[in-house]
Amino acid sequence: MLKNFSRHFVISNDVVLKDVRKDIGRYVADSSRRAFLQRSLTLGGLSLLSGCDIVDENSVDTALSTISRFNDRVQGLLFNPSHLAPTYADSMITRPFPFNAFYGEDQVVVVDEADYQLEVGGMVADKRTWTVAELRAMPQIDQVTRHICVEGWSAIGKWGGVPFANFLQRVGADLSASYIGFKCADDYYTSIDMATALHPQTLLALTYDGQTLPPKYGFPMKLRMPTKLGYKNPKHIKAIFVTNTNPGGYWEDQGYNWFGGS
Amino acid sequence: MSKGNNSLIHPVWLRVTHWLNAIAVLLLVMSGWRIYDAAPFFDFVIPKNLTLGGWLGGAIQWHFAAMWLLVCNGLVYLACNALSGRLLHKFFPLSPRALVADLVSALTGRLSHADPSQYNAVQRLAYLFVIADAVLLVLSGLVLWKSVQFPILRELLGGYEATRRVHFFAMSALVAFVGVHLVMVALVPRTLLAMIRGR
């Protein structure tokens, strides 16, 4: 019981211990950390609810995960690609725009543009790599939209870049595939559904507020989707691949909903 | 549907939907408090031992599972209530005059509970209020979950950030209702028996 309580405390008290967790995260191997989080997923709440461990927690976790997968399908059906996220005037931009990642701001990855090559793979016709200059040469758009975090807070920011649908068409992606996966220079990874990838507001963002995307917001390039929660918007993308096998994601594999958006 | 045995106060569909609703509300409120704690917009957080889910991801999984129970059960309740005619004859008429009279009686300890098959005016208002509040919770929850997909609802509620507050205050009203409801059950315990065995 004491062990359960302390584990519950460590995982749940993320307001106070967020920084500690970020530090721990650097030193603990990814796989063991993920397993630790998965085991702890509903532990505290369930023990509280039942007063003891009479309910098989694995079966509750399995049931909740099954419902989360069901919710993914419902959200896929609810997704109407012609519904646009609201856009705002420049004067409504949140300043400073908050930094957010699974590590602290002092640990931001600084990618060297000279060495950077975006890999494109999976179900695409043209698998050649891209430089930042080549991405900048494509037609760009700007948009001021609301970023909504899974924690509930939101902030308005201005991103500019290449409509992702145009990029996917350029590389000859199989648009009938189900998923797009992303691998990032900060070891983050995530994936999205094809319908969201083709949404007119989904951008390969190269700028923030009219300036080159700074490292803390994902230099050289991030995927910006006003229809998705923050954790679905990968920064420092180094590889994009089109697939029919769900690639999961850093937070999604720990229990955050995979669809994760509107 | 609600007719039949004269001594039956609560038909079986009402008792089943009542208790399923109680479970859904408990799960949603406790997991919702954990979600609020991830980014509180007031100067307080909810004590962790009152919350459900362990961490944010777990709380969200509970919240988005229990929402189906609340909505499906709520629709069954509303359909049975409307189709059986119970909604009309149990909750109406509801006059301001009767409300004031019953409220005064209640506060001076003179409100009669002799006939539990009849709701007094305060009960009628309280139950109609909590039904409307639950509808508001579902609609504001829908905006928080799918803000881009429900633009009209989102703008009616004042946008994403305003909707967070609407959802929170609607929760607070629901919790306040539950508090008063439980006090009343403690004062008139046979209402609990009626909600279990129907009479």
Give the domain CATH number at A128: 3.90.420.10
For A21-30, A146-155, A239-248, B144-153, which range has the lowest pLDDT when averaged over its residues? A21-30
Indicate whether B66 belongs to any domain: yes
Phi/psi for A160 (5° steps) reads -130, 150
Is residue A229 predicted with pLDDT exceeding 60?
Answer: yes
Q: With an 8 Å Cβ cutoff, is A40 touching chain B?
A: yes
Cβ–Cβ below 8 Å for A251 and B147: no
Average pLDDT, chain A: 86
Average pLDDT over residues A85-96: 98
* Omega cis (within 30) before B93: yes
Min Cα–Cα distance to chain A from B182, Å: 19
Q: With an 8 Å Cβ cutoff, is B49 touching chain A?
A: yes
pLDDT attached to residue B114: 74
Closest Cβ opposite residue B54 in set A42, A84, A226? A42
Q: What ipTM did this prediction achieve?
A: 0.91
- The parent domain of residue A127 ranges over 90-254
Q: Are residues A28 and A141 in the same domain?
A: no
**B111 confidence band (pLDDT: 50, 70, 90):** confident
Average pLDDT over residues B69-76: 98
Cβ–Cβ below 8 Å for B60 and A257: yes
Indicate whether A84 belongs to any domain: no
- The number of distinct structural domains making up chain A is 2
Is residue A56 predicted with pLDDT exceeding 60?
Answer: yes
Min Cα–Cα distance to chain A from B126, Å: 28
Contact indicator for A157, A219 with CB cutoff of 8 Å: no
Contacts with B52 from chain A: Cβ below 8 Å: 45, 48-49
Closest Cβ opposite residue B58 in set A42, A67, A150? A42
Is residue A155 predicted with pLDDT exceeding 60?
Answer: yes
pLDDT attached to residue B153: 97
Average pLDDT over residues A240-253: 98
Q: Are residues A45 and A101 in the same domain?
A: no
- The parent domain of residue B158 ranges over 12-102+119-197
Min Cα–Cα distance to chain A from B130, Å: 24
Q: Are residues A73 and A162 in the same domain?
A: no
Task: Give the Cα separation of B9 and B70 in Å (integer).
Answer: 23
Is residue A60 predicted with pLDDT exceeding 90?
Answer: yes
Is residue B8 predicted with pLDDT exceeding 80?
Answer: yes
Cβ–Cβ below 8 Å for B148 and A146: no
Closest Cβ opposite residue B149 in set A79, A251, A257? A79
pLDDT attached to residue A98: 96
Q: With an 8 Å Cβ cutoff, is A94 touching chain B?
A: no
Q: Are residues A197 and A134 in the same domain?
A: yes
Fill in the DSSP letter of residue A254.
G
Average pLDDT over residues A219-246: 98
Is residue A115 predicted with pLDDT exceeding 50?
Answer: yes
Phi/psi for B160 (5° steps) reads -60, -50
Q: Are residues A33 and A103 in the same domain?
A: no
Q: Are residues A127 and A210 in the same domain?
A: yes
Q: Are residues A53 and A141 in the same domain?
A: no
Cβ–Cβ below 8 Å for B38 and A152: yes
Contacts of A85 (CB under 8 A, 6+ apart): A145, A146, A201, A226, A227, A262, B147, B148
Chain B from 87 to 106: CB within 8 A of any A CB: none
pLDDT attached to residue A41: 47
pLDDT attached to residue A49: 53
Indicate the pTM of the whole model: 0.86
Is residue B4 predicted with pLDDT exceeding 90?
Answer: no
Average pLDDT over residues B92-109: 89
Closest Cβ opposite residue B160 in set A12, A43, A154? A154
